Homo-oligomer: A and B are copies of this chain.
Amino acid sequence: MTTIPPARVGMSIDQIDTPALVIDLEAYERNLDRMAGKLHGSPVRLRAHAKTHKCAIIARHQMARGAVGVCCQKVAEAEALIHAGVNNVLVSNQIVSPQKIARLVALAKQATVAVCVDHPANVRDLGRAAASADVRLPVLVEVDIGAGRCGTAPGQPTVDLARAIAAEPSLRFAGIQAYHGKAQHIYALADRRAAIEASVMLTRQTVGHLKAAGFNSPTVTGAGTGTYELELASGIYNELQAGSYVFMDVDYAKVEGSPHEFEHALFVLCQVMSRPTPDRAVVDAGLKAHSVDSGLPRVHGRPDIEFVGASDEHGTLKLRDPAAAPALGDLLRLIPGHCDPTVNLYDWYVCIRKNKVEALWPIIARGAIT
């Protein structure tokens, strides 16, 4: 159920109810500008991944700085974003159930919408639904270029599926999605580069196969915050799907190299609710306030404090410097271990500038998982 916002515009940061999901607007805006600067003058466009932020306001900020549109993973996310005015959305995922396909083609009447496929039965189902809704739906083939999740094999299987799409009058073959999710989080730069070199080679070969079969100049979309500079330099991608760069989490901070241009802009503001021993504090932010799937959060600006354990509603802190120990009631900022599933726990971003609440942004696609 939608929760009451934990703050009001104009409040100082210490009046915010905790735990709250806070955006430092200055760091956030610098992140947006840095990514826009990287792509400025290049034929490669950002298709920002909205699965990270689930917020139409942020999507519009990205598009105002040059993003061609956004992508998202779920029809329900696309619905929320399109209904809030975002007019170009790629569903970067397979949509297979009849009710979801019906919702997808209905959206295509309201905005520019595209979708990914990796199975001929799905192509037929999409074709039939698009025909009956009287839309022509752009469809991309997802190619598995190393991630080992969804996708056709590179080369001929991808061409075969492109042909199946082209054979459906209500569909349009729009290109390929070649995204290597796992590579984003390979910490060592050399290993990450090697993974992307291999995936770029497969992507390039597949584009060659497609051209030989008469499919020219398709969209080639993929990449993420961990690797986008490599795909940008490849000359084969023309859309980049980075998402986490807006916020930067602890896991991306472990990735060696370019992601470090981006700053931590997303925090879980929490409060010390117990000081049971000199070296232990407990805060009011546990597993329901941040996601630990990619590791524990860090305490922002406090190298003397280690977040050592999360239970459902508690975070346990080890205090390495008792002289600087936080007192009962003190506020701390956690940098989430993984921003995407953390954002999905909240209904509101509390946006601060110089320690004052400047805005409350609704996370309209929170919980939009169908």
Q: Which residues of A are in contact with B by a Cβ distance under 8 Å?
A: 1-4, 6, 15, 17-20, 51, 73-74, 76, 80, 93-97, 99-100, 118-119, 121-122, 144, 148-152, 181, 271-276, 280, 282, 284-285, 287-289, 291-293, 310-314, 316, 328-329, 338, 340-341, 344-347, 362-370
Contacts and interface: CB of A to CB of B under 8 A. Distances in A.
Given A1-B364, A288-B341, A151 B276 contact: yes
B345 A273 contact: no
Q: Which of A17, A285, A289, A362 has the most CB of B within 10 A?
A: A17
Given A1-B363, A151-B276, 16 more contacts: A1-B80, A1-B347, A1-B362, A3-B76, A73-B312, A96-B329, A97-B329, A119-B275, A148-B280, A149-B282, A149-B316, A151-B274, A293-B293, A293-B310, A312-B340, A313-B369
A51 B313 contact: yes
A312 B345 CA distance: 13
Contacts of A370: 3, 6, 17-20
Nearest to A119: B328
Nearest to A182: B311
Contacts of A273: 93-96, 150
A366 to B, nearest CB: 5
Contacts of A118: 274, 276
A229 to B, nearest CB: 22
A178 to B, nearest CB: 14
